[in-house]
């Protein structure tokens, strides 16, 4: 069997199992006497073992085999769960993850797993049962198991599972079906056996003798959860009537679909798997095509308005609706839940807290919030920086917290929520907060502020700690001290069209909020003109617009402010921002911009309307302005720059 073409599928399946392994390890560390995490660990490792053996990845198979042996001792109660065991298990999980990545890449020999295998075997030997114990002791138990197996053979039912004809990695999928069957009861035997599933002659049908009390409906449901199952046939001992639950090949009312017992289980054929895996490159291509289509739609709408032909206008309107529906469908297909990235953070927090000798209660909320896949891939590293920064700089050691009257375990939360057309990610801790005095002293040392300054505003604190190379850490560690954490977050988030906001109270804690657009590809924008130039302002940051009246402008400390319904807002002039000559006083429009809790008014010559724009990459010229986040093509074919509102406020 040529397994090379199934490598990506194996990697995807293995990543799901690795995630389950890490979650189970964290749960086992919190509840050392619990049985559920051990069972979950064993099942995930056992699945990886079978899949890797089928693929011919011997390094992974060896690792998972030794890990499975150790977990079996824990499951049977022959090995206590202690700190030493948890370190061994976490280390083995990391090695297993690396082995999977390298094996799929064809570089399995680059990884030396001897040390991990030795550690696993040593942990297995330190079980409660001494090595010198006579082997005769467990013999009665083995005889009982053989007797039980023999008895079970006579009362076991038979489950015949047929895979769909075009199933990729057919042997691996059959192995997963066997693993699902184990959750129903004891497997007496399988035909063919597990070792033969990888053979080229395997036809996709496997027979399982199963000792279980489950009904036909449950057996059918559990077996189909393995995926790519065409039929499930259940036969009971003594000639009891069984049932075939089949997926209709063409929906043509085949024999397998006819109801035989009138039960609800006959609806099983309708329970098809509704998900398929698609290469992200294909989705990116579709997104680029719909972007060009949106630009063309804008041009068509402009031409229809100029020609003023009713038939043309009606046709363009209908085409515009279809393009909008297509655009919505493609963008929705790119949305994925945050948990796909958030799932790895509990392990990150655990390792960082352990390295620093701190106790952390980590809470994650809003994992079901969806974000464009391209953004989700980019946001992982910034969140890791924020979490590590909170553990290192924010949360105190248990002794420090006790002296401050706090519980020894610090609280760290990661939340995600939707806010209009943006996603808000917030990292909050109940630690000591930002030490303004240290920030001020460090800023003096680096010559970043004048020597006479004795206090800093919130915005100044944020700007300082976000500067490249700025750090208040007394020493460089593996986690911090190089001054790249918050700076890296700011740089990455700004590049994604988002903003970072920091709020901190000394002795109470710190909250860092990241706001991101839901998607980077197509956004609705307000078009504003100054002189002969048109600029796009993302509607995410537009609160309202108004006609500019001279009597609403005031001067405060030498700067223009706008008085709007008893609110006083800082006032910007887009002409000043893009370095165009000032125009005569009077007239113009004002756009009220909003980023997080900051608001300001921006004066423009004219507002020309709203439009969905396709964001194109923008490489600024050397020494150019840093107030643009991208560019777009308008309906008339003229390019326009997109303002980065977060850099203006």
Percent of the chain past pLDDT 70, that is, above it, reads 82
The pLDDT assigned to 465 comes to 79
- Cα distance between residue 602 and residue 528, in whole Å: 10
Burial code of 324-341, b = ≥16 C-beta within 10 A, e = fewer? eeebeebbeebeebbebb
DSSP summary character for residue 77: T
Whether 370 is a known active-site residue: answer no
User: Among this protein's residues, is 68 annotated catalytic?
Assistant: yes
Contact 629, 520 (CB under 8 A): no
Res 270 pLDDT > 60: no
pLDDT of residue 641 exceeding 80, the answer is yes
Same structural domain for residues 616 and 594?
A: yes
Per the CB < 8 A criterion, the answer to whether 120 and 88 are in contact is yes
Question: Which tokens sit at 605?
Answer: 């010559």
pLDDT of 334 > 80? The answer is: yes
CATH number at residue 589: 2.40.50.180
Residue 337 to residue 164: CA distance in whole angstroms: 29
Residues 323 and 388 in one domain: no
Query: What pLDDT, in 10s, does the model give residues 15-54?
Result: 888 988 999 999 999 999 888 899 889 888 988 888 888 7
Among 239, 263, 298, residue at a domain's last position: 239
Looking from the CA of 312 toward its CB, the CA atoms found within 13 Å total 11
Residues whose CB falls within 8 Å of the CB of residue 27, separated by 6 or more in sequence, listed in order: 34, 36, 37, 40
- Could you tell me the residue range of the domain that residue 307 belongs to? 281-334
Domain for residue 258, yes or no?
Answer: no
- Find the catalytic residue in 13, 29, 66, 68: 68
Same domain, 497 and 585: no
Residues 593 and 527 in one domain: yes
Round to whole Å and give the CA distance between 291 and 519.
13
Q: Are residues 481 and 373 in the same domain?
A: yes
In a domain, 255, yes or no: no
Residue 133 within a domain: no
pLDDT at 370: 87
Q: Token pair for residue 538? A: 């993302």
pLDDT of amino acid 416 = 92
The pLDDT of residue 471 is above 80: no
102 or 153, which is more confident?
102
Q: Is residue 214 part of a domain?
A: yes
Q: Last residue of a domain, which of 184, 207, 239?
A: 239
HSE value, Cβ hemisphere, 13 Å, CA-based, for 534: 20
Rounded Cα distance, 442 and 267, in Å: 70
pLDDT at 299: 87
Asked whether the predicted pLDDT for residue 593 surpasses 80, the reply is yes
CATH number for 143: 3.30.70.1110
Q: Which of the residues 17, 66, 389, 396 is marked catalytic?
A: 389
Instruction: Assess if residue 252 is contained within a domain.
Output: no
Whether 310 and 431 map to the same domain: the answer is no
Residue 273 lies in a domain: no
Summarised one tens digit per residue, pLDDT across range 189-205 is 888 887 777 666 778 88
**346-389: per-residue pLDDT in tens?**
999 999 999 999 999 999 999 888 888 878 878 888 899 999 98
Residue 129 has pLDDT above 80, yes or no: no
Among the listed residues 23, 46, 385, 541, the single catalytic one is: 46
Same domain, 295 and 351: no
Maximum mean pLDDT: which of 211-215, 394-398, 624-628: 394-398
Which pLDDT score is estimated for 477? 54
**Is-contact 318 301, C-beta < 8 A?**
no
The reported pLDDT for the residue numbered 95 is 93
- Any catalytic annotation for residue 273? no
Q: Which residue has the higher pLDDT, 270 or 363?
A: 363
If asked whether residues 504 and 358 sit together in one domain, one would say yes
Give me the CATH number covering residue 114.
1.20.120.160
Both 499 and 367 in a single domain? Answer: yes
401, 505: one domain: yes
Between these two residues, 465 and 321, which has the higher pLDDT value? 321
Quick one: how far is CA 622 from the chain centroid? 35
Q: In what order do the strands lie in the sheet with 542-547?
A: 542-547, 589-595, 598-604, 567-573, 559-564, 553-556
- 600 token code pair: 């300001």
Domain boundary, last residue among 473, 491, 517? 517
Task: Give me the number of domains the chain comprises.
Answer: 5
348 lies in the same domain as 491: yes
> Does some domain include residue 254?
no
Q: Domain for residue 244, yes or no?
A: no
Considering the domain architecture, whether residues 343 and 317 belong to the same structural domain is answered as: no
207-265 confidence digits (pLDDT tens) = 998 888 888 888 888 888 777 788 898 888 765 545 555 444 443 333 333 333 333 33
State yes or no: pLDDT of 112 exceeds 80: yes
| CATH label of the domain that carries residue 384 | 3.30.565.10
């Amino acid at each position: 069997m040529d397994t090379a073409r199934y490598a990506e599928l194996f990697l995807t399946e293995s990543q799901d199992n690795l995630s389950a392994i890490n979650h189970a390890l964290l749960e086992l560390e919190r509840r050392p006497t619990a049985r559920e995490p051990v069972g979950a660990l064993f099942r995930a490792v056992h699945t990886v073992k079978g899949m890797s053996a089928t693929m011919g990845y011997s390094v992974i198979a060896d690792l998972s085999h030794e890990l499975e042996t150790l977990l079996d001792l824990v499951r049977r109660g022959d090995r206590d769960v202690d700190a030493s065991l948890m370190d061994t298990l976490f280390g083995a999980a990391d090695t297993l993850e690396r082995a999977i990545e390298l094996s799929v890449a064809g570089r399995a020999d680059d990884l030396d797993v001897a040390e991990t295998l030795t550690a696993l075997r040593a942990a297995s030997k330190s079980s409660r049962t001494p090595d010198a114990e006579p082997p005769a002791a467990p013999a009665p138990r083995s005889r009982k198991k053989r007797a039980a197996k023999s008895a079970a053979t006579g009362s076991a039912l038979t489950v015949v599972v047929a895979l769909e004809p075009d199933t990729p990695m057919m042997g691996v999928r059959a192995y997963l079906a066997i693993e699902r069957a184990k959750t129903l009861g004891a497997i007496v035997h399988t035909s063919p056996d597990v070792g033969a599933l990888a053979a080229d002659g395997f036809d996709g049908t496997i027979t399982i003798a199963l000792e279980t009390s489950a009904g036909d409906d449950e057996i059918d449901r559990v077996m189909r959860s393995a995926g790519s199952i065409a039929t499930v046939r259940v036969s009971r001992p003594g000639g009891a009537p069984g049932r075939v639950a089949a997926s209709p090949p063409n929906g043509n009312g085949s024999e397998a679909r006819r109801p035989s017992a009138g039960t609800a289980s006959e609806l099983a054929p309708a329970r098809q798997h509704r998900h398929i895996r698609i290469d992200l490159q294909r989705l990116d291509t579709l997104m680029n095509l719909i972007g060009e289509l949106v630009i063309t739609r804008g041009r068509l709408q402009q031409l229809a308005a100029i020609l003023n032909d009713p038939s043309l206008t009606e046709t363009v309107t209908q085409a515009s609706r279809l393009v909008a529906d297509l655009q919505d469908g493609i963008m929705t297909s790119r949305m994925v839940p945050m948990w796909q990235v958030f799932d790895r953070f509990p392990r990150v927090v655990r390792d960082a807290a352990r390295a620093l000798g701190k106790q952390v209660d980590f809470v994650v909320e809003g994992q079901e919030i969806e974000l464009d896949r391209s953004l989700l891939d980019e946001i992982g590293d910034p969140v890791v920086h924020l979490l590590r920064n909170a553990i290192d700089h924010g949360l105190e050691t248990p002794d420090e917290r006790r002296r401050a009257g706090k519980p020894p375990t610090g609280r760290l939360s990661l939340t995600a929520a939707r806010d209009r057309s943006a996603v808000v990610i917030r990292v909050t801790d109940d630690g000591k907060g930002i030490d303004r005095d240290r920030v001020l002293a460090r800023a003096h040392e680096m010559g970043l502020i004048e020597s006479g300054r004795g206090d800093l505003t919130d915005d100044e604190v944020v700007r300082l700690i976000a500067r490249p190379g700025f750090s208040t850490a007394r020493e460089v560690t593996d986690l911090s001290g190089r001054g790249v954490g918050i700076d890296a977050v700011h740089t990455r988030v700004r590049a994604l069209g988002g903003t970072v906001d920091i709020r901190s109270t000394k002795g109470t804690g710190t909250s860092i909020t990241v706001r991101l657009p839901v998607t980077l590809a197509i956004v609705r924008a307000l078009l504003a003109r100054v002189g002969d130039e048109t600029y796009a302002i993302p509607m995410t940051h537009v609160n309202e617009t108004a006609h500019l009246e001279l009597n609403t402008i005031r001067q405060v400390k030498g700067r223009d402010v706008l008085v709007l319904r008893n609110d006083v807002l800082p006032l910007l002039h887009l002409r000043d921002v893009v370095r165009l000559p000032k125009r005569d006083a009077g007239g113009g429009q004002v756009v009220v911009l909003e980023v997080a809790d900051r608001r300001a008014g921006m004066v423009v010559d004219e507002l020309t309307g709203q439009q969905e724009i396709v964001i194109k990459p923008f490489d600024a010229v050397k020494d150019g302005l840093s107030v643009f986040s991208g560019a777009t093509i308008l309906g008339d074919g003229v390019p326009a720059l997109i303002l980065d509102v977060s850099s203006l406020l």
